[in-house]
């Protein structure tokens, strides 16, 4: 059984901590969210659940909470089932399920590198007549025909984290606007490269990942600005969100580019692998890492100086919001058209307490990213 109060307070705590830690030295991409005076101080908030252990094949179906009115079934298909990031998001899903009702299961491939690996899980959801599918795309186009088939069968499709192709979902719940992530990645690399000068390269997830590819493209656009003119971009390597492949690729980057100053890894798996490689090769202080990571997995590297700063969003709340959108689409209170608005009272801080709005390409944005550094990283428990 999950409880509303701790979860809500945990979400607010993120905003509170961010507010307390923003300074001119911290490139917080957006102003901190104002928090109402009635919010409990962060110190009274129970710890957010830690990252769930890796799940070999599929997470067990969560026990439905009796109070919720929703009676539909939701199938969650992450990019890969054994990535702790998606376990965190699924905790948000199950918390929302306990608030709203319904049944939910998480199924998916054990690797994020096969573009079509999610298709059989979509087809099973169609056969089982699921009410909604919530999916993070390994490959936007490879899964589009199956998702369109699901929509034709009356199943609501909600993208989260990594978007399916436009037209193959009802609503895509985006964690943060793409341009904001791109600018953040460029700014953090600029901060970490001495005098914003030298070679930088990206260690990404899979070659087809919609989210990483969009963020890298936005980052490259930002890098054209004069502020970044002394940064030299060495290219993109792909670790497939696999710890071992990411490690091998980080080693290859360092071997191919002996003057590399910063590795930018916009994946929670790659950033840890690269930080470990930099550490084991005694390159602390010579090569830095930044990108997108969970604070608990990166804290040691922040304190050792390998990763002075990196960013992420409230992963739990991404799952929570995706489930809310799925339920609202199924029960008809949300049509999913551009301009539609809806409120999620349990997530007030992330959107400044305002209603969420469906924007272009049927996207809805969860909220701002958080930038972590040595001053704040230990305060986050995910």
Could you tell me where the DSSP H helices lie in the chain?
4-21, 84-100, 119-127, 144-152, 178-192, 210-223, 243-256, 268-280, 295-304, 315-331
Closest by CA to 330, choosing from 77, 78, 69, 114, is 69
Footprint of ligand RAM on residues 143-162 (CB under 6 A)?
161-162
Q: Between 192 and 241, name the residue whose CB sits nearer to ligand RAM.
A: 241
Q: Is 205 in the site for ligand RAM (CB under 6 A)?
A: yes
Q: Between 209 and 327, name the residue whose CB sits nearer to ligand RAM.
A: 209
Rounded to a whole number of angstroms, the minimum distance from the CB of residue 345 to ligand RAM is: 26
Quick check: 323 and 91 in contact, CB under 8 A? no
Other Cβ atoms within 10 Å of 365 Cβ, number = 21
Q: Between 209 and 254, name the residue whose CB sits nearer to ligand RAM.
A: 209
Rounded to a whole number of angstroms, the minimum distance from the CB of residue 162 to ligand RAM is: 5
Angle at 247 between CA 242 and CA 253, to 5 degrees: 120
Q: Between 45 and 269, name the residue whose CB sits nearer to ligand RAM.
A: 269
Among 82, 94, 267, 290, binds ligand RAM (CB under 6 A): 267
Angle at 369 between CA 207 and CA 89, to 5 degrees: 65
Taking the CA atoms of 340, 345, 349 and 353 in sequence, report the sign of the dihedral they define. Answer: positive
Cα separation, 81 vs 86, in Å, equals 7
Rounded to a whole number of angstroms, the minimum distance from the CB of residue 83 to ligand RAM is: 5
Half-sphere exposure of 183 (CA within 13 A, CB side): 12
Closest by CA to 351, choosing from 211, 179, 161, 176, is 176
Footprint of ligand RAM on residues 228-257 (CB under 6 A)?
241
Q: Is 211 in the site for ligand RAM (CB under 6 A)?
A: yes
Q: Between 240 and 373, name the residue whose CB sits nearer to ligand RAM.
A: 240
Closest by CA to 175, choosing from 319, 327, 382, is 319
Q: Is 87 in the site for ligand RAM (CB under 6 A)?
A: no
Q: Between 7 and 79, name the residue whose CB sits nearer to ligand RAM.
A: 79
Residue 206 tokens read as 């899979």
Among 27, 75, 76, 79, binds ligand RAM (CB under 6 A): 79
Among 94, 111, 118, 268, binds ligand RAM (CB under 6 A): 268
Rounded to a whole number of angstroms, the minimum distance from the CB of residue 112 to ligand RAM is: 7
Residue 58 tokens read as 């599929």
Q: Between 241 and 328, name the residue whose CB sits nearer to ligand RAM.
A: 241
Residue 72 tokens read as 């539909």
What backbone phi and psi angles, to 5 degrees, belong to 243?
Answer: -55, -40
SS3 assignment, position 139? coil
Rounded to a whole number of angstroms, the minimum distance from the CB of residue 368 to ligand RAM is: 15
Stretch that binds ligand RAM, among 101-109, 203-211, 247-255, 338-346 (CB under 6 A): 203-211
Among 269, 299, 327, 364, binds ligand RAM (CB under 6 A): 269
Among 55, 73, 83, 174, binds ligand RAM (CB under 6 A): 83
Q: Give the binding-site size for ligand RAM (rule: CB under 6 A).
A: 14
Which residues of this protein are in contact with ligand RAM, per CB under 6 A? 79, 83, 85, 136, 161-162, 205, 209, 211, 241, 267-269, 292
């Amino acid at each position: 059984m999950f409880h509303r109060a701790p979860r809500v307070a945990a979400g607010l705590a993120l905003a509170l901590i961010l507010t307390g830690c923003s300074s001119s030295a911290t490139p917080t991409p957006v102003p901190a969210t104002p928090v109402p005076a009635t919010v409990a101080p962060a110190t009274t908030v129970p710890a957010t659940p830690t990252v769930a252990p890796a799940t070999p094949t599929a997470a067990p179906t969560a026990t439905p909470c009796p109070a919720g009115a929703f009676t539909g079934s939701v199938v969650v298909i992450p990019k890969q089932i054994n990535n702790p990031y998606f376990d965190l998001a699924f905790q948000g899903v199950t918390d929302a399920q306990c608030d709203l009702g319904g049944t939910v299961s998480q199924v998916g491939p054990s690797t994020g590198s096969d573009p079509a690996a999610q298709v059989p899980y979509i087809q099973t959801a169609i056969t089982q007549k699921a009410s909604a599918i919530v999916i993070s795309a390994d490959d936007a186009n490879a899964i589009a025909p199956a998702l369109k088939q699901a929509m034709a069968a009356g199943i609501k499709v909600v993208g989260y984290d990594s978007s399916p192709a436009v037209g193959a979902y009802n609503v895509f719940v985006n964690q943060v606007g793409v341009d904001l992530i791109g600018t953040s990645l460029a700014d953090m690399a600029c901060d970490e490269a001495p005098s914003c000068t030298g070679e930088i390269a990206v260690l990404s997830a899979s070659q087809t990942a919609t989210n990483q590819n969009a963020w890298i493209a936005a980052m490259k656009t930002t890098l054209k600005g004069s502020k970044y003119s002394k940064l030299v971009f060495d290219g993109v390597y792909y670790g497939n969100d696999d710890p071992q492949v990411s490690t091998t690729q980080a080693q290859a980057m360092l071997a191919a580019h002996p003057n590399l100053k910063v590795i930018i890894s916009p994946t929670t798996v790659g950033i840890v692998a690269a930080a470990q490689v930099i550490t084991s090769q005694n390159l602390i202080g010579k090569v830095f890492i930044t990108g997108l990571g969970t604070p608990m997995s990166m804290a040691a590297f922040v304190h050792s100086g390998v990763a002075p700063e990196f960013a992420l969003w409230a992963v739990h709340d991404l799952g929570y919001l995706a489930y809310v959108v799925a339920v609202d689409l199924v029960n008809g209170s949300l049509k999913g058209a551009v301009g539609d608005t809806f409120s999620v009272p349990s997530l007030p801080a992330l959107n400044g307490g305002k209603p969420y709005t469906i924007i272009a390409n049927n996207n809805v944005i969860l909220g701002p990213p958080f930038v972590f550094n040595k001053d704040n990283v230990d305060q986050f428990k995910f």
